[in-house]
Structure 1
Amino acid sequence: MKELIEEYGHGYTMLRQVIEGLSEEALRFKPAPDKWSIHQILIHVTDSEILSTHRLKKVLAEEEPLLISFDQNAWANNLGYDLLDREQALLLFQMLRSSMQTILVHLTSEQSERVGVYADAGRFTFTQLLEYRVNHVRDHLAQIERVKEAYRLSV
């Protein structure tokens, strides 16, 4: 659990490192019309973090709370991701992760086994939800690398 909490805490730094030195053109490049740009990916990661921080806290505070999924494509398509401020989103991501760190470093083994329930996906322990948050950033870091490579090949 210690390594998981540590990696969770480094999510912001990892996102910053993967985009370091990229031009605005590279950040806005879409590898295909139906694919996200790096800018859009970063906005999505933050939106997902907003909802997930709420879920993590619900699981710790409430008895087997109902957790709600969201339609990430609807958010990306209908909330004007291209118009949103990437720097503001990254700072919000940093603050959300930072706000959870105090809770996480004091997490008990009993708390890590608390459960939340998704109507569409079933029961998940706090640890499973936290693992998902770490993997979510990992997956999007890999996606950003793929978009960077597609951009390099296009210029």
Structure 2
Amino acid sequence: MIENQYPIGKLEERVFTDTVKQECLGAIRYLPNMLEAAITNLDEAQLQTSYRKGGWTVHQLVHHVADSHLNAYTRFKLGLTEENPVIRPYDEVAWAELNDVRNLPVNISVTLLYALHARWHEAIKDLSDQQWSRTLVHPATGVARPLSYYVQLYAWHGKHHVAQINYLREKRKWKT
């Protein structure tokens, strides 16, 4: 495994109990706060540092989380309003090279995440068990997975990238 590619480990899907649901909802709700705290006081040189050899820079990671979670929010809305929709994959590496990622400061994506996660949390916080069982189909596998899986995936995803940034801060002994 590449050095600290997964500082919190890989996603482990759990039985979707009320406790797991509340943990995931909290992660969705508070991800913008956690991400903002992870990048607080980083200067431009630090933001342009890769968290690991061959990895994205902190700058790219922040924009990637916004891109990924925009897609996730849309996927959830589709899952709640359509029967077994096939989700649209995207080339996250190519997205990380586009001008909005290259040229815009990270605070743009952090601001976007605050609004996005407020809406996302509001949309899913009171779902019924039946709604959590609604499925999305990934075209690469053809497998239908319930929204209860996807909320765990994206809760993990946000914490995963925050942990990568915090790992880099600790490794480089950057002030917090």
TM-score between both structures, scaled by the size of structure 1: 0.89
- In structure 2, distance between residues paired with 1:42 and 1:91: 11
Structure with more of its chain in helix, by fraction: 1
Three-state SS of the structure 2 residue aligned to 1:29 is: coil
Instruction: Note the 1:4-43 alignment, pairs <5 A.
Output: 4-30=24-50, 34-43=54-63
- Does structure 1 conserve the Cα–Cα contact (< 8 Å) formed by 2:38 and 2:165? yes
**Pick from 129, 134, 140: which aligns with 2:161?**
140
Superposition deviation, residue 81 in structure 1: 1.9
Q: Which residue of 2 aligns with 1:75?
A: 95
Structure 2: runs of 5+ lacking an equivalent: 1-20
- In structure 1, distance between residues paired with 2:161 and 2:106: 15
Task: Give the percent of matched residue pairs that are identical in Structure 1 and Structure 2.
Answer: 24
Three-state SS of the structure 2 residue aligned to 1:67 is: coil
Q: Which residue of 1 aligns with 2:121?
A: 101
- Does structure 2 conserve the Cα–Cα contact (< 8 Å) formed by 1:37 and 1:147? no
Superposition deviation, residue 104 in structure 1: 1.7
Superposition deviation, residue 21 in structure 1: 2.0
Superposition deviation, residue 74 in structure 1: 1.2
Instruction: Note the 1:116-135 alignment, pairs <5 A.
Output: 116-121=136-141, 122-135=143-156
Amino acid at match of 1:118: H
Amino acid at match of 2:30: H
- Does structure 2 conserve the Cα–Cα contact (< 8 Å) formed by 1:29 and 1:151? no
Residues 31-71 of structure 1 show CA distances to partners (whole Å, capped at 9, x for unaligned) of: 56732111110001001111111001100111110101111
**Pick from 54, 64, 72: which aligns with 2:84?**
64
Three-state SS of the structure 2 residue aligned to 1:10 is: helix
Superposition deviation, residue 119 in structure 1: 0.9
Three-state SS of the structure 1 residue aligned to 2:136 is: strand
Amino acid at match of 1:44: H
Moved more, 42-51 or 19-28: 19-28
Does residue 53 of the first structure (1) align with residue 86 of the second (2)?
Answer: no
TM-score between both structures, scaled by the size of structure 2: 0.79
Superposition deviation, residue 132 in structure 1: 0.8
Structure 1: runs of 5+ lacking an equivalent: none
RMSD after superposition: 1.9
